[in-house]
Amino acid sequence: SQQGEEDPQALSIQEGENATMNCSYKTSINNLQWYRQNSGRGLVHLILIRSNEREKHSGRLRVTLDTSKKSSSLLITASRAADTASYFCATDSFQGAQKLVFGQGTRLTINP
C-alpha cells in the first residue's frame, strides 16, 4: 500500500527555475523524508523533517510539512541540469515495524 503520493508525476522546467513537488500521506507519521534517484541508481537521502517541524532547509532544498493536511512539499531553488532525477517522499510512522513507505515519485527534468 502506498502511504505517500507525489504530485505531479512528472515535471519539466528550465534551468534556473524553481521546482516544487508535493507529497500527500494518509496516516500519522513520526517523520517524512525525501530521496533522489538518478536513472538506474540507488536512492539517496536528501532531507528529513520531523512531525513537530514545519519547515526545514538544506542548501537549495526547502521542505515543508503540514500535518493537519497530511502533506509535504519539496522546493528546489535555482535548478540545475544535475537536479534531473526522480524524487520520492517516504513516511516513517510510529506504527508497526517502523519502516519507510515510499510514494511513486516525481520525475523531474531540468532543461538547459
Partner 1 sequence: IAGITQAPTSQILAAGRRMTLRCTQDMRHNAMYWYRQDLGLGLRLIHYSNTAGTTGKGEVPDGYSVSRANTDDFPLTLASAVPSQTSVYFCASRPSPGGGYGYTFGSGTRLTVV
The residues binding partner 1 (CB under 8 A) are 1-2, 30-31, 33, 35, 40-45, 48, 50, 88, 90, 92, 97-105
Closer residue to partner 1, CB minimum distance, 15 or 31: 31
* Cβ at position 56, least distance to partner 1 in Å: 12
Q: Which is closer to partner 1, CB of 18 or CB of 94?
A: 94
Q: Give the residue with the Cβ less far from partner 1, 36 or 70.
A: 36
The DSSP code sequence of 37-91 is E-TTS-EEEEEEEETT-SEEEETTEEEEEETTTTEEEEEE-S--GGG-EEEEEEE
Query: Are residues 61 and 75 in contact, defined by beta-carbon separation less than 8 angstroms?
Result: yes
> Whole-number minimum distance, CB 15 to partner 1, in Å?
27
Least gap, CB of 79 to partner 1 (angstroms): 23
69 vs 99 by CB, closer to partner 1: 99
Q: What are residue 82's phi and psi, to 5 degrees? A: -70, -10
Q: Phi and psi dihedrals of 25, rounded to 5? A: -140, 175
